[in-house]
Every structure is written in structure tokens, then in C-alpha cells.
Structure 1
């Protein structure tokens, strides 16, 4: 099988999990015998562009003529079975879908964010969840609030792009939703069920998990939507040392808040930006991983890394987090009714009932993004980590292991290629 993987890489100065996932997926496909033809552009190319190319940049999200020319030549020469699109902005444009279809090549797209509707892709503005542009022909609120790169002009361009390419997106042959929450987003956008499949990302298998450490690990960009403020407020509701250490890793605009918290309390440790070895060491030292996003986080890779390491996760009940920890679909233990199911843990009645507002899944717990609820869940997670460690690792092996995910992706390609466009 021959597949074109199309992706506009985000700037290297802005660490991107999406770039990492695309690179890993290409490697996994090639290891499985798929011939991959990368069609990649990078936003880092923009400063070195010619004056003419830079002059055309404002229209490139709508139509990028050079990218279409290069892609058309690639498709004509190699005649791939499928084009797999990730991020098209700004140098590829959704127009690659039309270019592929013109050559009879079906298109699969992995949906990494909410940019079919939201100009920023986050459904998040001014510190709170925002869905003001849902259902609108043109995202005027995004223009008014400068949602794209804090620029009214660029926001107007992106809102126009989304309006122009609504028919383009609806012509995609198969959407890959990373979680059940993304599948719901696509249905709300008007995509029929038969063109949506749920397939998460994978992370490499780190091997047999080390014994649990102690305390909690927060590993994320230090930005408002990742819920750092929520976490610190919840943590301060407990006496110093009562929960073991809170390790915080990452970098971003809220770094001063972390440094202040670490100076204020000896049980808050700031680890800075970690490399892969540092992440592995931090996971080994901890018992529970935190994912306290206050936006509809699509698929925090750190959760999958936690499960692979046999660490359960405490997160907020937003976006893909409940799906990742197995708390998106309640299981009804024998002998319980609807009232009990709301707080019953997944996995049966052999586990203790959760306090109100805390929902347990196969691999962790989720709560609403409220300081009091998160504060109440922290000691529950610490006490229950050992009981869920094996279940967390088993969930990784069953759903997020590269062997499982890559086979699922190849099956998706085969199904789409079987009904190749004329």
C-alpha cells in the first residue's frame, strides 16, 4: 500500500505534540510495510520565503497554489492509494483535499483540533471554554475577539477560510477522530457516522512498568488552558506534604506561577522542560499523572505515556480525557440502578464507591474542572493509585499500543482505498 502523508509542521519554537505524533506514525507505518510518501511543509520555512511567496501567504490557507502544484505532480507520478491529511495550515490549505480528489485519490484526515469550526482550534477564549462560532456560516465572534494569532485581520482570514472550505471538509472520505469527543464534534459539524472512525494515537512501548513512586506529576505546556491555575488552587487546599510531592514539568507563559508555588511550598517541585529521559524519570518517580485541562483537550499525549508506564491519571472531565482513562462510558455493576451508576467506578462493584463528583474509569478518575472537586479527588487518586496501576497498563496495551493502533490505521486505509474515487 502507498500512502501520502500530508502535514504542515508547526514551528519548532512552539513544541507540538502533533508534529511528534505524525513523525511517529510515519515510522510505525513504514515498519509495518506501508510505502509512505511524506508531503510535508513547515511554518519554519516562512521567514526564508521569497518576497512573492510572502505576499501570497494571506491567501494560502484558502488556496496554496505552489502546494497544489507540487502535490498534483506527486500524485500523478506515484499514484498513491490514499492521502492522509493532518494539519493543512497555513502552507498546504484544505485545497489538498480537492487536488487529491481530482486525481481520484481518496482522503483520510486525522482531526487533531476543532478548526473545522473554531479559528483558534481550541474552543477556548479569555480563559474559558467558548463555542460562539458553532453553527455560524461565518465566525464573526472569532474576528471580533482576534481569536487567531491575536490579529483581527488574520482572524478574518481564518474565519473566511473555514466558511469557504466547509464543502471541502464535508467531502473528506474518512475522518479519524482521536477520541469519542472528537467524533461528537464531527457529528455536530454535519459529518455522518459512517465517515467517522475513532482511532487514538499511540506512543512507543517503554517496557515493563517500574514500581509506583509517590505523589503526582503534571507534565504540560504552562499555559492557561492546560489548567495549571486550577491545579495549584486545588493543591493549596491541602496541608504541605499531605499528598506527597507535586512535580511540575514544562515551560510556557505561566512559568512564574510555578516558580512562585515551588518557592512557597516544599511539596511543589518545578522540573523545567524535560527531554525524553527526564520524562521517563519523572513518571517513574510519581504515582499519579495529572491532566487538569480547562478546555476540551483533544488527546493529551501525556495520558497515554502515563498508561504505558502503568500510572493512573486524574483529569478533568473535558474533551478526550474521559475517553483516555476509560471513564467516558459508565459501566453498571450488578445490582445497581441509575442513581448509583453516576458515581460508580468502571470495572465493577469490587472497587469502593467514589465520593460524589468523582468518576472512576479503567485507568483513572475524572472530575469537573472545579477547585473543590479536584481537591477532593487528589487524596482519592493517591490512595487508589496502586489498585489501578495494572489496569492502566492493560488499557494501554489494549488500545494505545503502536501494534494495535497501526493495524487499525492500515485497515482504515484499506477500507477507503477499496472504494477509490473515479
Structure 2
């Protein structure tokens, strides 16, 4: 099987779980014997572009003519079975769907965010969840509020792109929804059930987990939607040192907020941006990973990394976080699937009963995105971390391991290749 993987990489200065997942998926497919033809562009290319190329940037989200020419040559030369699209913005454009269909190549897209509808892709604005553009032919609120890159002009362009490409998206042969919540988003957009497959991401197996460390780890973009304000407010409700260390790793616009917290308290450490070895060391040193997003975070890669390392997760009950920790659905009967991992009773093997308002899953806990709720959950997570470590690793093995996920992905490709209708 020959697959083109198309992805516009996010800037390397801004840590991206999506970039990590695409790289890992290419490796997993190659290991499974698939011939992968990467069709990659990077937003880091923009500063070094020629003046002529930069002049065309405003229309790139709609059309991106150079990308279409390059892709068309690739399709004609290699005759792939499927084009698998991830992020098309800004240098690839959704137009690649039309380019592929013109050559009779079916298209699968992994939906990593909400950008079929939302110009920022986040359903998040001014510190709160926002879905003002749902159901609109043109996302006027996105233009009014400068939702794309803080620019009214660029927001108008993105809103126009989403309107122009509504028929393009609706022609995609299969959508991969990373969770059931994303599948609901696609149905709301008008995609029929038979063209939606729920398949989470995978990360490479890091091997047998190291013994638990102590304290908590936040690892991700230091941006408002990741809930750093929420986390730090909840943390300050406990005396300095009462919960063990809080390590915060990453970079972004809220870095000064984190640096101030680290200067203010002895139990907060700012690790800065980390390479892969640094991430592994930070996970090893910690007992619980935090995912405190205040938006409907689709499928935070850091949670899968935590589970693979046998670290339970304390997160907010938004987006894909409940799904990841196994707190989104009733437990299945024993032995019937991932949710059948042996669970810890409410009181755990040791320690107090888990208070109301803290929802428990096989691999961790979720709470409302509220400082008081998170503050109440922090000592519970610390007390029960050891009891959840093994089931966190088991959830990874059964649901997010590359062997499991790659089989699902190959099945998705096979489903569109024999029966894909010709496109004109």
C-alpha cells in the first residue's frame, strides 16, 4: 500500500502535539510495511520565502497553487492508494482534497481541531469556550473578534476559506475523529456517520515504566487555553510544599506567568522547553501528569505519553480528556475491551474516599474547570497515584499502542481504496 501523508507543520518554536503525532504515525506506517510518501510543508519556511511567494500567502489557505502543482506531480508519478491529510494551513490548503480527487485518489483526513467551523480551530476565545460560528454560512464573529492570529484581515480570509471549502470538506472519503466528541462535531457539521471513523492517536512504546516519582507535571504550550491560570490558582490554595513539587515544562506566551510562580513558591519549578530526553526525565521524576485545559482539547498527546509511562492523569472534564483517562463512558463488562482494566475502588488501595465532583477513570481523574474543584482533586490524585499507575499503562497498551492504532488506520485506508468512487 502506498500512502501520501500531507501535513503543514506548525512552527517548531511552538510545541505541537500534532507535529509529534504525524511524525510518529509515519514511522508506525513504515514499520507496518506501508510505503509512505510525505508531502510536508512547514510554517517555519515562511520567513525565508521569496517576495513573490510571500505575495501569494494571503490566498494560500484557499488555494496554495504551488502546493497543488507539487502534489499533482507526486500523484501522477507515484499513483498512491490514499492521500492522508492532517493540517492543511496555511501552505497546503484544503484544495489538496480536490487535487487528489481529480486524480482518482481517495482522501482520509485526521481531524485534530475544530477548524471546519472555527477560524482559530479551538472553539475558545477571550479565555472562555466559544462556538459563535457554528451553523453560520460565514464566520462573521471570527472576523469581528480577530480570532485568527489577532488580525481582522487574516480572520476574514480564514472565515472565507472555511466558507469556500465547505463542499471540499464534505467530499472527503473518510474522516478520522480522534474521540467520540470529535465525531459529534463532524456530525454537527453535516458529515454522515458512515464516513466517520473514531481512531485515537498512538505514540511509540517507551518500554516498562519507571517507578513513580513525586509531585505533578504540566507539559505543553504555555498558552491561555491550556489552563495555566486555573492550575496556578488551584495550586496556591495549598501551602507551599504540601503537594510535593509542581514541574511546568514548555514555552509560550504565558511563560512570564510561570516564571513568576516559580519565583514566588519553592514547590514550583519551571523546566522550560524540553527535548525528548528531557520529557522522559520529567515524566520519570513525577507521579501525576496534569491536563488542565479550559477549552475542548481534542486529544492532548501529553496524556498518552503519561499513560505510556504509567503516570495517571488529573485533567479537566472537557474535550477528549475524559475519553483518554477512561472516564467518559460506563465501564464495560470484564474482559470486553479497554475499559475492562481493573479499576481502583473509590477509596483506592489506601487513602481517603474520593470526594464528589471528582470523576474517576481507569487512568486518572477529571474535574470541572474550576479552581476549587481542581484544588480539591490535587491531594486525591497524589494519594492515589500509585494505585492507578498500572491501570494507566494498561489503558495505553489496549487503546493507544501503535500496534492497536496502526491496525485501525490500515483498516480505514482499505475501506476507501476498493470502493472509492471516481472524482471529477
TM-score (norm 1): 0.94
Shift in Å, 1:143: 0.3
The alignment status of 1:16 with 2:20, answered yes or no, reads no
Say which SS state the counterpart of residue 357 (structure 1) adopts.
coil
- Residue matched to 1:271: 271
Partners of 1:87 and 1:18 in 2: CA distance: 8
- Residue matched to 1:342: none
Q: Deviations over 1:308-365 (max 9, x none)?
A: 010000000011111111111133999xxxxxxxxxx995684436311110011000
Shift in Å, 1:51: 2.6
- Residue matched to 2:155: 155
- Residue matched to 1:260: 260
CA contact (8 A) 1:101 1:421 kept: no
Partners of 1:231 and 1:21 in 2: CA distance: 26
- Residue matched to 2:330: 330
Say which SS state the counterpart of residue 84 (structure 1) adopts.
strand
- Residue matched to 1:214: 214
Change (3 A) 1:137 1:347: farther
Partners of 2:383 and 2:276 in 1: CA distance: 28
CA contact (8 A) 1:331 1:347 kept: no
CA contact (8 A) 2:8 2:90 kept: yes
Say which SS state the counterpart of residue 365 (structure 1) adopts.
strand
Say which SS state the counterpart of residue 203 (structure 1) adopts.
coil
Q: Deviations over 1:239-287 (max 9, x none)?
A: 2222111111112222222222222221112222222111111111111
CA contact (8 A) 1:317 1:368 kept: yes
Partners of 2:344 and 2:150 in 1: CA distance: 50
Partners of 2:54 and 2:343 in 1: CA distance: 59
- Residue matched to 1:236: 236
The alignment status of 1:315 with 2:315, answered yes or no, reads yes
Q: Deviations over 1:276-303 (max 9, x none)?
A: 1111111111111000011111111110
Partners of 2:218 and 2:68 in 1: CA distance: 41
Shift in Å, 1:141: 0.4
Gaps of 5+ in 2: 335-339, 348-352
- Residue matched to 2:63: 63
CA contact (8 A) 2:82 2:105 kept: yes
- Residue matched to 2:394: 394
Partners of 1:156 and 1:228 in 2: CA distance: 30
The alignment status of 1:167 with 2:167, answered yes or no, reads yes
Q: In the TM superposition, what are the counterparts of 1:20-419 in structure 2 within 5 Å?
A: 20-331=20-331, 350-352=345-347, 354-419=354-419
CA contact (8 A) 2:14 2:252 kept: no
Change (3 A) 1:214 1:141: same
TM-score (norm 2): 0.94
Q: Between 263-272 and 301-310, report the one with greater CA deviation.
A: 263-272
Gaps of 5+ in 1: 335-344
- Residue matched to 2:337: none
Q: Deviations over 1:346-386 (max 9, x none)?
A: 95684436311110011000001000100111111111111
Shift in Å, 1:35: 0.6
CA contact (8 A) 1:127 1:225 kept: yes
Say which SS state the counterpart of residue 3 (structure 1) adopts.
strand
Q: What is the alpha-carbon root mean square deviation over aligned residues?
A: 1.7
Q: Which runs of 4+ in 1 moved over 6 A?
A: none
Say which SS state the counterpart of residue 56 (structure 2) adopts.
helix
Q: Deviations over 1:52-103 (max 9, x none)?
A: 3222221111112221122122112211110000111111111111111111
Change (3 A) 1:78 1:346: closer
Number of residue pairs matched by the alignment: 412
Say which SS state the counterpart of residue 175 (structure 1) adopts.
strand
CA contact (8 A) 2:97 2:168 kept: yes
